[in-house]
Amino acid sequence: MAPPETPTRSLSPAWWLLYGVLCGLAGAGLLAYLMAPPRGHAIELEAAPTYSFVSIPVTAVTRTPWPTEAPLWININEATLQDLQKLPNIGPATAQAIVAYRERYGLFTALEDLQNVAGIGPKTYAGLLGFITLESE
């Protein structure tokens, strides 16, 4: 007995044409990819700048001695700008702030109220405690 015949199917010319076009497009895409110049520029990294330290001679810091003519106690309710500037760590701006606070809110009723003045924090206040009072001489 003879083997049964398998039916053969032939593809129509339209399928062969489609296959040829797709292969041609794939080949053209591959060729375009391989022939294209590289995109963008290569990233070039520069070394970080180096700094060299220059030695600067240190000069001695001189401190202004405490004025000998300053009174032992300064009444912060009666002191002038010049009197307030004789206190340690009180410059012209802070002295002006003390006077402005006194003019706006009235006389200080407690030494602790001095900490409400702009520029006088806990450290400055602690340094002033041995020099300020609310009592007249």
pLDDT score of 46? 82
Give the mean model confidence (pLDDT) for residues 23-39. Answer: 89
* Per-domain residue ranges of the chain: 74-133
pTM here? 0.48
Give the confidence band of 137 by pLDDT, cuts at 50, 70, 90. Answer: low
User: How does pLDDT run across 121-134, given as a tens digit for each residue?
Assistant: 999 999 999 899 99
Cα separation, 82 vs 47, whole angstroms: 57
Query: Residues 6 or more apart from 137 whose CB is under 8 A from it?
Result: 71, 73, 75
pLDDT of residue 78 exceeding 70, the answer is yes
Cα separation, 128 vs 113, whole angstroms: 13
Phi-psi region of 119 (alpha: psi -120 to 50; beta: other; left: phi over 0): left
Q: Yes or no: is domain 74-133 CATH 1.10.150.320? A: yes
pLDDT score of 7? 67
**Are 85 and 96 in contact, with CB atoms under 8 Å apart?**
no
Least confident range of 54-58, 75-79, 86-90, 122-126: 54-58
